[in-house]
Amino acid sequence: MKTQAYSAGTIINALATGYGCAFGLDLRLRVRVDFEVDDNVIIEDRIERKSVVLDTVLNHFGLNAVVEVRSEIPKGSGLGSSSAFLNALLLAIYKHLSKPLNAEDILRLNAKLSLKCGISYTGAFDDASASLLGGIVLTNNVNMQILRWEFKKAKAVVLIPNFERGEIDLGKIRSDKSLVKKAVEFARKGDYKNAMYYNTLHYCRAIGYPLEIVEVVKDLDCCCGLSGNGPCFVAFGDVKEVREVWKAYGDVIETKIVNEPCDDVVVTSNLFSSL
């Protein structure tokens, strides 16, 4: 069984307020799953390993599987690699069990399993939604509902900086939410440029990343900011100049926003809530 899911770039990180905003990136994680086995194994870069996450997901369904992973998404980068893995795995399981590919069921189970496995502070419902559905999503991660979903044709770039991920201090991140609340209001209006900027101001200060990376390109015709908990930064829009400027800070990947679901999922109104 072969399935795939997209990477997710961040507009608003949900850690501070419970509201997240993300977009699907055309960096893909693909899995090939064999269910006719007696033990659970992940194979990645030709290396076999055990995984608590894999065990937790498969135990939920009473299954065993060998999962071969091929991913274009940098791990531990703030680009939704865990959400993409869970989406791809759940799609494979649903197909194996001949279950309807209901987006609501898959996304909410993704978030619940993410919390259970301890790989997310909020369930990452925003990342999961962008990874499965593509486009741009604004979500309430607490209620696991999508507030806004739209498609936007745009090129994008990802900066993999030459520094490591900073320490996540939830107390510091949640002590003053004013900037992120502004970001949420901008996102509600579809003003993603300002939403990303105010989100980045907050999280770069709280985690300790240099604001300079965004400041040097914020006046260009693009939306740019920190992705997830970092250390990666993302931008979309007219990113030609951004790509050149960001090369001074690390490696730059060129990609685009994806504007269709990663599989033939059924999207129902129950997944959505009004603004």
CB neighbours of residue 81 within 10 Å:
25
What mean pLDDT comes out for the span 155-182?
Answer: 96
Q: What is the pLDDT of residue 154?
A: 98
User: 38, 8, 42: which is closest to 22 by C-alpha?
Assistant: 8
Same CATH fold assignment for domains 2-151 and 155-256: no
Distance of CA 192 to the CA centre of its chain: 16
The pLDDT score that the predictor gives to residue 235 is 98
Which pLDDT value is given to residue 22?
98
Task: Give the pLDDT mean for 29-42.
Answer: 96
Position 75 scores a pLDDT of 87
% of the chain with per-residue pLDDT over 90: 97
DSSP code, position 231 = S
DSSP-assigned beta bridge partners for residue 157 = 235, 254
Q: Is the pLDDT of residue 93 over 70?
A: yes
Residue 18 DSSP symbol: S
Asked if 242 and 255 touch (Cβ cutoff 8 Å), the reply is no
CA–CA separation, 206 and 265 (whole Å) = 37
pLDDT attached to residue 38: 93
For the chain, percent of residues with pLDDT exceeding 70: 100
Domains in the chain: boundaries: 2-151, 155-256
Distance of CA 36 to the CA centre of its chain: 30
Model confidence at 192, pLDDT cuts 50, 70, 90, reads very high
Chain segment 51-67, per-residue pLDDT in tens = 999 999 999 999 999 99
**DSSP code of 189?**
T
Stretch 161-168: mean pLDDT: 95
What mean pLDDT, rounded, does the chain reach? Answer: 97
Q: Is the Cβ–Cβ distance between 228 and 78 less than 8 Å?
A: yes
- Average of per-residue pLDDT across 74-93: 96
Q: CA-CA distance, 107 to 148, in Å (whole number)?
A: 15
As a whole number, mean pLDDT of residues 151-179 equals 96
- H helix runs in the chain, sequence order: 52-61, 81-96, 103-117, 125-133, 170-175, 178-188, 192-207, 212-215, 240-246
Tell me the CATH architecture of domain 2-151: 2-Layer Sandwich (3.30)
pTM score, whole prediction: 0.96
Closest to 146 in 3D by CA, of 121, 129, 123: 129
User: Which pLDDT value is given to residue 275?
Assistant: 61
CATH class of the domain comprising 155-256: alpha beta
For residue 165, what pLDDT is reported? 95
CB atoms within 10 A of CB 235: 30
**Residue 177 confidence (pLDDT):** 97
Contacts 24+ apart (CB under 8 A), 263-269: 263/3, 263/4, 263/91, 263/101, 263/132, 264/101, 265/91, 265/101, 265/102, 265/103, 265/106, 265/132, 265/133, 266/100, 266/101, 266/102, 266/103, 267/103, 267/104, 267/133, 268/102, 268/103, 268/104
